Amino acid sequence: MLTSECICTHLRRAARGVSRHYDEALDGFGINVAQFSLLRHLRRLDQPSISTLAEAMGLDRSTLGRNLRVLEADGLVALAEGQDLRNRIVLLTEQGRARLQAAEPAWEQAQSDLINTLGEGQRDELVRLLELLA
């Protein structure tokens, strides 16, 4: 058990545990929870620029770029030139859509499992506190 009162230590430990929970649920779909989140953002934003996607996900461009290269190599995303030649857009491929759709029930089950563990009231409070810290 952690004896530290350091908020950062507790948050990082919890984040690793939660990520592990979702990664286990997504095992067998060929993506991890970070990649799943990226694919969902792409579907929602519909052809965002790399900068827009990075901002929406709270990532720096270099971290996003590394994740995009993996997904691009797997055929799940494609990069294209935007209207401004300095800006590239990110496209969710049909293969990416299909992978996302196939993995969503597993993600939803993982989400339900955590909500059942916390209870809806504590989940809402946790989300509120995390948004406050973000």
CATH number for the domain running over 7-118: 1.10.10.10
pLDDT digits (tens, 9 = 90+) for 23-59: 999 999 999 999 999 999 999 999 999 999 999 999 9
pLDDT digits (tens, 9 = 90+) for 66-78: 999 999 999 999 9
Enter the DSSP assignment of 79.
Answer: E
- In 3D space, the residue among 29, 58, 24 whose CA is nearest the CA of residue 41 turns out to be 58
Contacts of 54 (CB under 8 A, 6+ apart): 60, 61, 63, 64
Structure tokens at 3: 């004896």
* Burial 36-72, CB ≥16 within 10 A → b, else e: bbbbbbbeebeebbbebbbeebebeeeebeebbeebb
Q: How confident is the model at residue 2 (pLDDT cuts 50, 70, 90)?
A: low
Structure tokens at 35: 């990649």
pTM comes to 0.87
